[in-house]
Amino acid sequence: MIKVSNLHKSFGKVKAVRGISFEVRDGEITGLLGPNGAGKTTTLRMLYSLLPPDEGEIRIDGLDPTRDAMAIKQTLGVVPDGRGLYTRMSARENIVYYGELHGMSRKDIGERIEELVETLDMADFIERRTEGFSQGQRVKVAIARAMVHRPQTVLLDEPSNGLDVMSTRALRRYILGLKEAGHSVVLSTHIMQEVAALCDRIIIIANGQIAADGSARELLEKSGCDSLEDAFVRLIGSEEGLLA
């Protein structure tokens, strides 16, 4: 459960986020959709307490990232855009490291990794060093690493970037599984099909502001368009950044 109200963030003269408010409910997948540079990643970074907001309030399960950063980090699972695996360590070692940083016991981590290997289908490469992994394998390890401590809230930044069709399908199945298990999931993306296939709620962000907020059907009705893509362009008011 995430509540965000009137969020602002500037970097020097650049106003990256200008008054964003939204809610994310448990058991739902919420998509942050927007062109590149719209402020999606900045918003996510404020959620996982990497950046302090200049103004506005965030509550994740009642906790404030600016004050209860450590507690919030325990309840969050984050897959950032960069993935950032350690290439000189095996997939398992990467995951164990994060488990230990969450203070989990060796035994607990071992059991959890067995579960994750099963659900994410990682048995083939779990013991291999991540150097030279395919994008799909990398995303799986990054997800397993983010999920090792069984977080309630899951934040995914551009999760399907660079994935082939099979990997994308597997990823979508996994994200839908999270929703069924009652997690609240936020994913940021600029890919329309992804939002259409996954999200219960869509929040369209453009120029650091919310251009629209609602289910896919609501957005279509609001814009009077037939396709989500047209609706998207209509709602953000330009095609700028879409092709980037």
Partner 1 sequence: MSRLATVYKKEVRENLRDRRSLFNSVLLGPILFPILFIGLAYFASSKQQERVEQVLEVPVVGAENAPNLVSFLEQQGVVIQTAAEDPEASVRTQEVQVIIRIPEQFGEQWKTGKPAVIELIADPSRRESDIPMQRVRGLLNAYGAQIGQLRLQLRGVSPTIRSPIMIKDIDLSTPQSRGMLVMIMLPYVLMITAFTGGMHLAVDSTAGEKERKSLEPLLINPVPRWQVMLGKMAATATYAFASLFLTLLAFRFAFPLLPTGALGVDLSLSAKAIGGILLAVGPVVILAAAMLTTLAALAKSLREAQSYMGLVFMIPMIPSLIFMVNPMKPETWMMAIPMFSQNLLIGEFVRGESVSLLWLIMSMGSTLLIGFVFAAVAATLFNRPRIVFSN
Binding footprint of partner 1 on the chain (CB under 8 A): 45, 48, 50-52, 70-71, 73-74, 76, 78-89, 97-98, 100-103, 142, 145-146
CB of 117 to partner 1, least distance (A): 20
CB of 169 to partner 1, least distance (A): 25
First to last CA, the chain: 32
Q: Which is nearer to partner 1, 83 or 172 (CB)?
A: 83
Contacts of 207 (CB under 8 A, 6+ apart): 18, 38, 39
> Under a CB-based contact definition with an 8 Å cutoff, are residues 94 and 86 in contact?
yes
Q: Which is nearer to partner 1, 78 or 205 (CB)?
A: 78
Using CA atoms, how far apart are residues 208 and 206, in angstroms rounded to an integer? Answer: 5
Q: Which is nearer to partner 1, 71 or 233 (CB)?
A: 71
CB of 82 to partner 1, least distance (A): 3
Using CA atoms, how far apart are residues 208 and 46, in angstroms rounded to an integer? Answer: 13
Q: Give the three-class secondary structure for 67.
A: coil
Q: Which is nearer to partner 1, 101 or 123 (CB)?
A: 101
CB of 162 to partner 1, least distance (A): 14
Q: Which is nearer to partner 1, 68 or 200 (CB)?
A: 68
> Under a CB-based contact definition with an 8 Å cutoff, are residues 86 and 93 in contact?
yes
CB of 225 to partner 1, least distance (A): 36
Sheet strands (E) in the chain = 2-11, 14-24, 29-33, 55-60, 76-79, 153-157, 184-189, 201-206, 209-214
CB of 89 to partner 1, least distance (A): 6
One-letter amino acid identity for 45? R
Q: Which is nearer to partner 1, 36 or 215 (CB)?
A: 36
